[in-house]
Chains A and B, each alone.
Chain A
Amino acid sequence: MTSETASPLAKILHDSRSEILDEWINQQLSDPERSRSVPETTIRSSSEEFIRLFEQGSEKGNLSDLTKPEWKDLQTMLTELSTSRAVQGSTPTETAKFIFSLKQPLFARLNARAGQTEANLIKQIVELSSLLDKLGLHTSEAYQQSREAIIRRQQREMMEMSTPVIKLWDGVLAVPLIGTLDSARTQIVMEALLQRIVETGSKVAILDITGVPTVDTQTAQHLMKTVAATRLMGADCIISGIRPQIAQTIVHLGIDIHDITTKATMADAIKEALTQGGWKVERKSEKATN
């Protein structure tokens, strides 16, 4: 069903395209709240592309149903635009304003057309406004989603950075665990640890939980998973950093740590690891050479 606004819209886009484009671009550039994160050249090229795809979409006369195929290209362009704006550091408002600021030049041209009844003009403005609102909201949504994806990626990177696997000695690795040990973290620890075991040929890994605030049944399971995977690789684990409260919690919860070696401190764990590896640590003679 062809909208009544389609024809006047098509006409003004056809007749005054470059003027509309110029006015629109100028309005964006002169906005006092405009951030500098988006360069002028980008604003120009985005606007041009938008008008082109906007014209393409409105050709079929459907100005209300954005799910129809003629609007697909424009939607895709807007999703990409929002994503790149999000990455550039632009705000969601600015990205939506990109669309909303097109209203002014379009309405002005509709208004200027001769032979229009007021009633018709109002209808056209309402319909066009509604269309642009939908497009504006679409950009906001796309913007949000890409921000969320960025945050997830950063979270993962933070987790990877905060779980280093350190080579303490020949054949001895240490993994200081800081913060809560959830299942996502455990996956990262396991992958990093096992990879290092292969690279270094280590036989012992010390998992230090001094920095893990609480140990519940879940955390214990994650720890045991890590130990099990390590043993499958032909190495073994020592869990160190067991604070008194943690020890009590483990007993209280009835968690069975099977036959995993545990130590209160990292120092004890290192001694144990070295002994297991056949190392002996001796103090050099106290006498100083004169």
Chain B
Amino acid sequence: MERIPILKLGEILLVTIQVDFHDRSALALQEDLTQKIVDYSSKGVLIDISALEMVDSFMGRVLGNIAKTSRLLDCNTVLVGMQPAIAITITELGITLKGIHTALTAEDGIELLNTLIQNGNNGQSKVFGKRRLYL
């Protein structure tokens, strides 16, 4: 089982999730990320899911947990590259991705993270009003 590579870009950690992302890798990713956030005192995590073809409730929980643990470590999480088909399916499933910000592209995501970091983590994002909570 391959562990997903985590790249460091200044205060931000970048993670790109591959297509054949098995369920066990998700838990390994959680551990690795948490460790690296502490090691590098990272302030932001960018998770690129553009290669993912599906997100089920298990994956939703994993992503949610990543966001929660990051928050506790004073780190923000932004998800980018969600495909429309997945957004629609997740919504129908009723998965909540509470505490995770989302952005359309990697550039948008990094911009958002920088803004969040500047404004101080755990504060409201001033960029686009109330965009933090999802149904």
Contact = CB atoms under 8 A, between A and B. Distances in A.
| Interaction A to B | yes
Interface of A: 187, 190-191, 194-195, 197-198, 201, 203, 224-225, 227-236, 258-259, 261, 276
Nearest to B90: A232
A234 B87 CA distance: 10
B84 A201 contact: no
Contacts of A230: 87
B128 A276 contact: yes
Nearest to A201: B104
B44 to A, nearest CB: 15
Contacts of A225: 91-92, 135
A231 B133 CA distance: 9
B131 interface: yes
A232 B128 contact: no
Contact of B133 (A197, A234, A235, A259): A259
Interface of B: 80, 82, 84, 86-88, 90-92, 97, 101-105, 108-109, 128-131, 133-135
Contacts of A234: 80, 82, 101-104, 108-109
Contacts of B103: 234
A149 B80 CA distance: 39
Contacts of A190: 84, 88, 91
A230 B87 CA distance: 8
Given A228-B135, A232-B134, A236-B129, 6 more contacts: A190-B84, A194-B87, A203-B128, A231-B131, A232-B86, A259-B130
A258 B133 CA distance: 9
Looking at A187, A227, A259, which has the most chain B CB atoms within 10 Å of its CB?
A: A259
Contacts of A203: 104, 128
Contacts of B90: 229, 232
A195 B83 CA distance: 9
Nearest to A200: B104
A249 to B, nearest CB: 20
B129 A233 contact: no
A185 to B, nearest CB: 14
Contacts of A258: 133, 135
A231 B88 CA distance: 11
20 contacts: A187-B88, A191-B88, A194-B88, A201-B108, A203-B104, A225-B135, A228-B135, A229-B87, A229-B91, A231-B134, A232-B90, A232-B134, A233-B82, A233-B87, A233-B104, A234-B101, A234-B102, A236-B129, A259-B133, A276-B129
